[in-house]
Structure 1
Amino acid sequence: MEAVAKLRNYPTGPRKMRLLADVIRGMEVEKALNILEFHPQTNSVPLAKLLKSAIANWEQKNNGESAADANLIVKTVFVDGGRTLKRMRPAPQGRGYRVRKRSNHVTLAVDKKAVDNK
């Protein structure tokens, strides 16, 4: 049974978060957590926290069954653009440059590994 966790309005650009989401997509949960723990990118901390939340949601949904025994994988991860805060920065000759402070929404789903009976 699939479990989902969402991170809303995280203040970083969606492209930066997508780079990290692409790394862990389809991986086993334990391996993905280890990669996120030692990844140099700043976005790895909230993404690791989100993955832990999805694992906890899965355990709660499955009556306390251990996630370590279940062989969970990161089924889907997708990053959407969140709200954009528009700010003005002073520019030469009395002008103002627009600064767009972007944010993103991350949705992460974990599930048991599918067993191939071939």
Structure 2
Amino acid sequence: MEVQALTRYARMSPKKMREVANTITGRKAPEAVEYLTLIPRKSARLIVKTLKSAIANAENNNNLSADSLIVKTAVIENGPVLKRFKAGARGSAMPRRKKMAHIRIVLTDGSNN
């Protein structure tokens, strides 16, 4: 059985988040939580929050054990971009693109239901 959790509009670049998210695919869920807590990056904190939510969804909604769960996919999707301007040299305006990401984590217990 598959269980998922979704965090939308995370204020971080999707490229930075994908570097961390790709490392947990295929790991057992408790092991992935431990692994992410050791990584000193903002993206790891956001991903572990979503992963814990997915584990809670599996335990409360589907009566699955956290120890039997495996991270099937950890996908970081592009969110909207805030377009802002900052003062530049000689009175000009320099564009800033403040990116957002959507985090989708899918856990599975290994059965084909």
TM-score, normalising length from structure 1? 0.88
Q: Given the alignment, which residue of 77, 80, 89 partners 1:80?
A: 77
What residue is the counterpart of 1:57 in the other structure? Answer: 57
Q: CA RMSD in A?
A: 1.5
Matched residue SS, 2:70: strand
How many angstroms does 1:50 deviate by?
0.7
Q: Once the 2 structures are TM-superposed, how far is the Cα of residue 114 of structure 1 from its aligned partner?
A: 5.6
Query: What is the rounded CA distance, in whole Å, between the counterparts of 1:60 and 1:46 in structure 2?
Result: 21
- Corresponding residue number in structure 2 for 1:20: 20
- Contact 1:3-1:61 at 8 Å conserved across structures: no
- Superposed displacement of residue 100, structure 1: 0.5
CA distance in 1 between partners of 2:56 and 2:89 (Å): 52
* Alignment partner, residue 31 of structure 1: 31
Structure 1: 4+ residue segments shifted above 3 A: none
Larger radius of gyration: 1
Give the gaps of 5 or more residues in structure 1: none
Q: Which structure features the higher share of strand residues? A: 2
Taking the aligned partners of 2:32 and 2:95, their CA distance within structure 1 comes to: 37
Q: Secondary structure at the match of 1:23?
A: coil
SS at match of 1:113: coil
User: TM-score, normalised on structure 2?
Assistant: 0.92
5+ residue gaps, structure 2, are none
Give, in whole Å, the separation in 2 of the partners of 1:65 and 1:14.
30
Q: Percent identity?
A: 35
Is the CA contact 2:70–2:108 (under 8 Å) kept in the aligned structure 1?
yes
CA–CA distance in structure 2, aligned partners of residues 29 and 65 of structure 1: 12
The CA distance in 1 between the partners of 2:64 and 2:5, in whole Å, is 18
